[in-house]
Amino acid sequence: MSIEQLVNPHIRALSPYVPGKPVEEVERELGIVGSVKLASNENPLGPSPKAIEAVAAALGDVNRYPDGACFELRARLSERLGVGGDQLIFGCGADEVLELVVKTFLAPGDEVVMPWPSFAMYPIVTQGMGGTSKRIPLTEDMTHDLPAMAAAVSDRTKIVFLCNPNNPTGTSFSASEQDAFVKELPEDVILVIDEAYVEFARRNDFPNSLASIDQRPATLVLRTFSKIYGLAGLRVGYGISSPELIGFLDRARHPFNVNRIAEAAALAALDDEAHAKLSWETNGAGAEFLTRSLEALGHSVWPTDANFLLVEAGEGVVDALLQEGVIVRPLAGFGMPRHLRVSIGTAEENERAVRAFARIAERGDVAGVES
């Protein structure tokens, strides 16, 4: 008997998450140097200098286990967000908290309603527990079809995922739209609102999801230090919910899941409001420049409340950009072969990306791209 025959069928059929290639791998494969990576929605300014100092200071204590309760980070975030310390749970990235939700509440055969395309880990963690994904297509303007999602909830639905702003489209929905959706959702369904990119949102009517927790205790809001705080390599995420829901997630959580260095960096990053503001301003200016420049080249670009853009560029553009040393995220795996996701970089990186798009258009050697 082969090992494959011993694997649970829902795991055997699972396709693993494929991350964007690192710069080093792309340069090795193509024999190029000096590439720029605009594929993984990372903060192009890097982490706060205060976070780097905190990491260096924490290195001498790595022989000790971390504080499993994240006491200092819990206290700081509790004060910042205006929630109780017992309303917070921490993970090795928000991905771990996402997996804890599914581990805690989903049984084989249960359904999870989710928008699509959206974060690729939603169907992966669902199938990993033997659940069934009900993927509800986005609207024509690439936003959540919240009425359709509400209508898709059945007696078998245990969890609903919302992603606001949505990845990979960057689009968002308003407070009134979320409120209307929440009113329709049965109380016995866990609502997970993924706000990994919330700090970049610019719309004035963006939802206050934390207020929803008081009205609906079966609501969990996910956030992360990977994006605006620039700590993607250290993996620190967290969830906010009612004390009761957090208590059950804590039962499923492994001990010491946030390492000592990561917690120190997150604490310092929270204190550096100037760096977060600069990151927000850099992102806004970059979004405006890239949108204007790419539309001038004939590409469709969607409005964004995140740190990336959804661009319709034609098939073959991703590979052509790689040859130019510009790494972006292809979206063919989401059923969007003509679209790509472009992370917003520094001014210099954004300008280089636009020049690469322009050269590809001038050559006219890619389907769907006009010279």
Kindly state whether residues 86 and 126 are assigned to the same domain.
Answer: yes
Kindly state whether residues 23 and 154 are assigned to the same domain.
Answer: no
- Give pLDDT, residue 17: 65
- Give pLDDT, residue 81: 97
Residue 359 lies in a domain: yes
Kindly state whether residues 119 and 198 are assigned to the same domain.
Answer: yes
**Structural domain boundaries enclosing 338:** 3-46+274-363
- Give pLDDT, residue 10: 75
Q: Are 97 and 258 within 8 A, CB to CB?
A: no
Kindly state whether residues 73 and 163 are assigned to the same domain.
Answer: yes
The per-residue pLDDT for range 237-247, each reduced to its tens digit, is 999 999 999 99
Residue 370 lies in a domain: no
Kindly state whether residues 125 and 231 are assigned to the same domain.
Answer: yes
> Torsions phi, psi of 217, nearest 5?
-60, -20
Q: Which of 244, 188, 186, 183 is nearest to 212 (CA)?
A: 183
- Give pLDDT, residue 8: 77
Residue 371 lies in a domain: no
Cα distances (Å, whole numbers) of residue 159 to 103, 132, 141, 369: 11, 11, 25, 41
Kindly state whether residues 75 and 138 are assigned to the same domain.
Answer: yes
Final residue belonging to a domain, choices 271, 304, 337: 271
Kindly state whether residues 220 and 329 are assigned to the same domain.
Answer: no
The per-residue pLDDT for range 22-37, each reduced to its tens digit, is 777 777 777 777 789 9
Residue 347 lies in a domain: yes
Using 70 as the pLDDT threshold, list the residues of the chain that sit under it: 14, 17-18, 20-21, 365-371
Q: What CATH number is given to the structural domain containing 321?
A: 3.90.1150.10
Kindly state whether residues 308 and 336 are assigned to the same domain.
Answer: yes
Residue 296 lies in a domain: yes
Q: What CATH number is given to the structural domain containing 74?
A: 3.40.640.10
Kindly state whether residues 114 and 138 are assigned to the same domain.
Answer: yes
Residue 184 lies in a domain: yes
Final residue belonging to a domain, choices 237, 271, 305: 271
- Give pLDDT, residue 26: 72
Kindly state whether residues 202 and 287 are assigned to the same domain.
Answer: no
Kindly state whether residues 241 and 292 are assigned to the same domain.
Answer: no
Q: Which of 346, 360, 228 is nearest to 294 (CA)?
A: 360
Kindly state whether residues 65 and 168 are assigned to the same domain.
Answer: yes
Final residue belonging to a domain, choices 236, 271, 306: 271
- Give pLDDT, residue 23: 74
Domains in the chain: how many in total? 2
Residue 369 lies in a domain: no
Q: Which amino acid is at 259?
A: N
